[in-house]
């Protein structure tokens, strides 16, 4: 199963029994125990585990050839959605899928994916941030637009050494305006409603693994 458009998956967040964190002092953290499989958009095998070791607490995704793709999701608490400004997390790759490039047809596997999703009325907006094997860092591709959903793919990281943590920081309002409002600084930004993670290798038929942790949203 290849999930080129995850808007439907985030629509499913409303039907999943999530335990979301509470916003406190303008910041909310996504605890590793709060993530859930988005069943409507996932195969029968949950290949993600919680890890607690000297590096802290994080989620490890380990896709193996033959499995169907599985996605984990976390729902932003209601009182943190409108004011969400900055998304931070850390991730590290353990295994890159072979020659994968999210902007190349038939090779759109990712060692690590972060989905950031907003909602306005009935319309869902998603930016898919990926850590690619060989794709060019900074590329934006695989754009989808229809009356109910919009999605762009952004190659945020590419290649590099495995087993090394990278910290990321995204300006959510600026990113939304850049991708969905032609960069207009005064454009209204809808509520930020969910985050998803995925590691997959179904198109390249190869192992794919990464660790994800320290997700926080600042208002």
Report the length, in residues, of the chain.
219
Helices within the chain (DSSP H only): 7-11, 78-81, 172-180
Q: What is the CATH number of the domain that holds 47?
A: 2.60.120
For residue 87, pLDDT beyond 70? yes
* pLDDT level of residue 2 (50, 70, 90 thresholds): very low
Question: pLDDT tens for residues 4-29?
Answer: 445 555 555 444 434 444 455 589 99
Asked if 94 contacts 211 with a C-beta cutoff of 8 angstroms, the reply is: yes
Range of the domain at 129: 7-218
User: Which tokens hold the place of 102?
Assistant: 């999210």
Q: What is the mean pLDDT of the chain?
A: 91
Q: Is residue 2 part of a domain?
A: no
Residue 183 lies inside a defined structural domain of this protein: yes
Note the Cα 49 to chain centre separation in Å: 16
In a domain, 127, yes or no: yes
* In a domain? residue 118: yes
- 27 located within any domain: yes
**Residue 183 zone, left/alpha/beta (φ > 0; ψ -120 to 50; rest):** left
Q: Does residue 77 form part of some domain?
A: yes
Domain count, the chain: 1
pLDDT in tens, 118-144: 999 999 999 999 999 999 999 999 999
State the pLDDT confidence band at 41, using cuts at 50, 70 and 90. confident
């Amino acid at each position: 199963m290849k999930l080129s458009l995850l808007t439907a998956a985030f629509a499913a967040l409303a039907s999943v029994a999530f335990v979301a964190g509470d916003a406190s002092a303008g910041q909310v953290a996504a605890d590793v125990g709060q993530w859930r499989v988005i069943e409507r958009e996932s195969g029968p095998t949950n290949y993600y585990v919680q890890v607690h070791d000297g590096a802290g607490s994080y989620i490890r995704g380990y896709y193996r050839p033959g499995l169907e793709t599985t996605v984990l999701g976390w729902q932003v608490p209601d009182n943190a959605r409108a004011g969400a400004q900055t998304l931070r997390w850390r991730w590290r790759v353990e295994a890159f899928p072979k020659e994968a490039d999210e902007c190349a047809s038939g090779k759109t596997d990712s060692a690590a994916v972060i989905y950031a999703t907003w909602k306005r009325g009935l319309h869902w907006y998603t930016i898919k941030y990926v850590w690619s094997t060989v794709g060019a860092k900074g590329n934006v591709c695989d754009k989808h637009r229809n009356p109910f959903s919009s999605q762009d793919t952004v190659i945020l990281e590419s290649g590099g050494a495995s087993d090394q943590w990278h910290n990321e920081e995204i300006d959510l309002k600026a990113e939304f305006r850049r991708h969905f409002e032609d960069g207009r600084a005064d454009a209204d930004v809808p509520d930020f409603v969910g985050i998803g993670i995925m590691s997959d290798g179904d198109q390249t038929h190869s192992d794919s693994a990464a660790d994800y942790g320290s997700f926080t949203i600042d208002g």
